[in-house]
């Protein structure tokens, strides 16, 4: 059984470039796989390994006082959901593209999962899903507004075009694990919104803490690993993923004549160039050959 750990913290890391090598070495020595992002503003990522391996990494991180209150969320999976280990250096650990924004100084009010239903039942509260369109498509909270963004960077445009601080007096936002809401709530506060709330621990914490019987979550939750989605029990969901466009796909999508395993799905089939189709076809062939040799090919599950 593998432990899948999602973690993040906004904290000043002037030495983030030096941390890259230390973390990569530690993860490889302990057979941990996944992705960690490092920037001057902090750390973010999702990794997976044995219980002992993940504990070793968390102990290493928390031995640094800067990471003593590191946010981290765990789930169990029967197989390793990642194919490799990457530690990347970035300008932002979650990219909004709003220079000068600092969630360490200004952030929305945290709302615990057990209090979330009461908050969003308030008719004066505007509920906003801060995730991307393809994530919202597989599941969201009942009544949530979809910003219809393809990347988090587009969230600023959504705020400018659709939200108004004088009209929307109370805004509640949520995302997968909480990190995007750190940025989005900080951004709204910088634009003059006064009552801004966000779901503490994100959707994943809500699914763990709130019983299905009282839950207002509808559908599954998209996750950024080979599981693709998880259900309300935090078990692997029913979706696969298209390698070409990275969108989640259903069994119905895979029955479409426009679906070619590892190459295209109904969403992207007509937009791929001949070169892309050629590359994806060759990649799928290599994956199948590797599978025949009982080897792991560094690619997507679809």
Full domain range(s) for residue 41: 2-89
237 in a domain, yes or no? no
pLDDT > 70? residue 297? no
251 in a domain, yes or no? yes
pLDDT > 60? residue 29? yes
- Residues 175 and 67: their CA atoms lie apart, in Å, by 22
Q: Verify that 76 and 7 share a domain, yes or no.
A: yes
pLDDT of the residue at 298: 52
Last-in-domain residue among 60, 89, 118: 89
Q: Determine whether 175 is an active site residue.
A: yes
76 in a domain, yes or no? yes
Measuring CA to CA, which residue among 103, 125, 107 is closest to residue 115? 125
Q: What is the CATH number of the domain that holds 14?
A: 3.30.70.100
103 in a domain, yes or no? no
Last-in-domain residue among 219, 237, 264: 219
Tell me the percentage of the chain whose pLDDT exceeds 90: 86
Residue for token pair 């600092």: 102
- Residues 101 and 90: their CA atoms lie apart, in Å, by 16
pLDDT of the residue at 300: 43
187 in a domain, yes or no? yes
186 in a domain, yes or no? yes
Q: How many domains does the chain have?
A: 3
Q: What is the pLDDT of residues 53-69, one digit of tens each?
A: 999 999 999 999 999 98
Q: Verify that 188 and 265 share a domain, yes or no.
A: no
Q: Verify that 180 and 213 share a domain, yes or no.
A: yes
Chain centre distance of CA 71: 14
Q: Verify that 143 and 186 share a domain, yes or no.
A: yes
């Amino acid at each position: 059984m593998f432990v899948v750990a999602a973690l993040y913290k906004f904290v000043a890391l002037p030495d983030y470039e030096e941390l890259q090598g230390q973390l990569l070495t530690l993860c490889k020595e302990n057979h941990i796989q996944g992705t960690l992002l490092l920037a001057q503003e902090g750390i973010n990522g999702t990794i997976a390994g044995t219980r002992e391996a993940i504990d070793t990494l968390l102990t290493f991180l928390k031995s640094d006082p800067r990471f003593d209150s590191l946010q981290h969320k765990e789930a169990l999976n029967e197989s390793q959901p990642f194919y490799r280990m990457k530690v990347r250096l970035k300008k932002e650990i979650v990219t909004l593209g709003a220079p000068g924004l600092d969630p360490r100084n200004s952030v929305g009010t945290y709302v615990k999962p057990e209090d979330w239903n009461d908050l969003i039942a308030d008719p004066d509260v505007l509920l906003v899903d801060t995730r991307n369109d393809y994530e919202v498509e597989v599941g969201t909270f009942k009544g949530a507004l979809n910003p219809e963004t393809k990347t988090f960077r587009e969230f600023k445009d959504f705020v400018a075009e659709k939200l108004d601080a004088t009209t929307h007096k109370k805004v509640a936002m949520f995302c997968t694990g909480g990190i995007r809401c750190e940025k989005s709530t900080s951004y709204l506060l910088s634009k003059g919104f006064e009552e801004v709330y966000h779901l503490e621990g994100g959707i994943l914490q809500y699914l763990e803490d709130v019983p299905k019987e009282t839950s207002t979550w509808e559908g599954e939750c998209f996750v950024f690993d080979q599981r693709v989605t998880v259900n309300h029990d935090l078990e692997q969901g029913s979706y696969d993923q298209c390698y070409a466009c990275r969108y989640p796909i259903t069994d119905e999508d895979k029955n479409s004549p426009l679906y070619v395993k590892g190459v295209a799905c109904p969403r992207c089939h007509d937009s791929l160039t001949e070169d892309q189709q050629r590359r994806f076809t060759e990649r799928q062939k290599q994956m199948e050959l590797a599978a025949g040799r009982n080897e792991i090919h560094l690619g997507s599950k679809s």
